[in-house]
Amino acid sequence: MASQDWFDKDFYQVLGVSKDASDADIKKAYRKLARKYHPDQNPGDAAAEAKFKEISEANSVLSDPEERKEYDAIRAMGSGARFTAPGGAGAGGFEDVFGGMFGQGGGGQRFTFQQGAGGDYDDLLGGLFGGGRFGQSTGGYRGFGGPTPGRDVTATTTLDFITATRGDQVTLQTAEGKPVTVNIPAGVADGQKIRLRGKGHPSPDGGATGDMILTVNVRKHPVFERDGLNLRVTVPVTFEEAALGATIQVPTLGGDPVKLKVAPGTPSGRVLRVKGRGVATKKGTGDLLAVVQVAVPSHLSKEAEERLREFAALLPDENPRDDLLARAKG
């Protein structure tokens, strides 16, 4: 915008806030108006586009504490002040509306600034207003931030357990019906977010396109659970296998079962590890953790019950809960 607009435009009125509005109030007002007038919400509406640029200009100044302070100081001088540029070869002058800022006395004084190679009045004003530039090609005032980046968008996708573990390429569809191809990395976890650069909303003024933030939901597997890069599976064994020892088969994710040895006297909860059969990623490969669960028969025949009582009579007279109870008291 031209430098005169700092006097002529009321940025507070543009955003619909008072001059003593807090930063939070300004941010809230801007977001509400930006959603209403954003070009994506009003395709082909020139008036809405102009309004969006106007509120963006207002926000760029009022959201920056230093720029807001300078803007308030200049506005306090009164909207009747004007810049003038008297004639003269190779020279220019400005009416001293900045008297107080330059440390000068009453009004009407003049400063003359020589315009030489590599400098112009924009440079002069840029130094005064904190390095900003006037009259840019976008038609708006820009501080240090440059063009406004496009807004990020959010999306979700649900994957089956094996796809999430091994990784895959999936195609999503945006709200506008545009397909987006996404490479899902191996080992993605439930609830993990993936940032897709440049897949969000375009910038309203030539800046970088926003990103898509994709949240991945992973369906539960009926057998396996994730434990970091490891996979856990609960493996039932009979009382006889746990007591006397055995070689059992354990399932793997998407592969053939593997054989594991159960040592005699193995209790429930013991973890048997199969190296390298977990989740394989670029960062490493996990293991398969087989958790032993001793299966207790739910129905016993009369004869089996009698034999079991005979067996129990032969066991040492000890309570396996004694240590637990003692530690609980301590």
pLDDT at res. 5: 58
In this prediction, residues 108-113 reach a mean pLDDT of 34
Contact, 274 vs 280, CB < 8 A?
Answer: no
Alpha carbon distance 238, 297 (integer Å): 8
Element (H, E) at 25: helix 23-37
Phi then psi dihedrals of residue 281, to 5 deg: -130, 175
What's the half-sphere exposure (Cβ side, CA atoms, 13 Å) at 142?
16
Tokens of 219: 């369906």
Contact, 236 vs 295, CB < 8 A?
Answer: yes
pLDDT tens-digit profile of 259-269? 999 999 999 99
Contact, 57 vs 63, CB < 8 A?
Answer: no
Alpha carbon distance 247, 266 (integer Å): 12
pLDDT at res. 35: 86
Alpha carbon distance 305, 323 (integer Å): 28
pLDDT at res. 170: 86
Alpha carbon distance 129, 71 (integer Å): 9
pLDDT tens-digit profile of 214-262? 999 999 999 999 999 999 999 999 999 999 999 999 999 988 999 999 9
Percent of the chain clearing pLDDT 70 (strictly above): 76
Give which of 7, 28, 1 is closest to 17, Cα–Cα. Answer: 28
pLDDT tens-digit profile of 46-97? 888 888 888 888 888 888 888 888 888 877 765 444 444 344 433 333 333 3
pLDDT tens-digit profile of 181-222? 888 999 999 999 999 888 888 888 888 889 989 999 999 999
Contact, 49 vs 36, CB < 8 A?
Answer: no
Model pTM score = 0.52
pLDDT tens-digit profile of 265-321? 999 999 999 999 999 998 899 999 999 999 988 888 999 999 989 988 888 888 888
Element (H, E) at 115: none
pLDDT at res. 104: 41
DSSP 102: T
Element (H, E) at 38: none
pLDDT at res. 76: 74
Give which of 197, 113, 116 is closest to 149, Cα–Cα. Answer: 197
Tokens of 175: 């709200």
Residue 140 has pLDDT above 60, yes or no: no
Alpha carbon distance 161, 218 (integer Å): 6
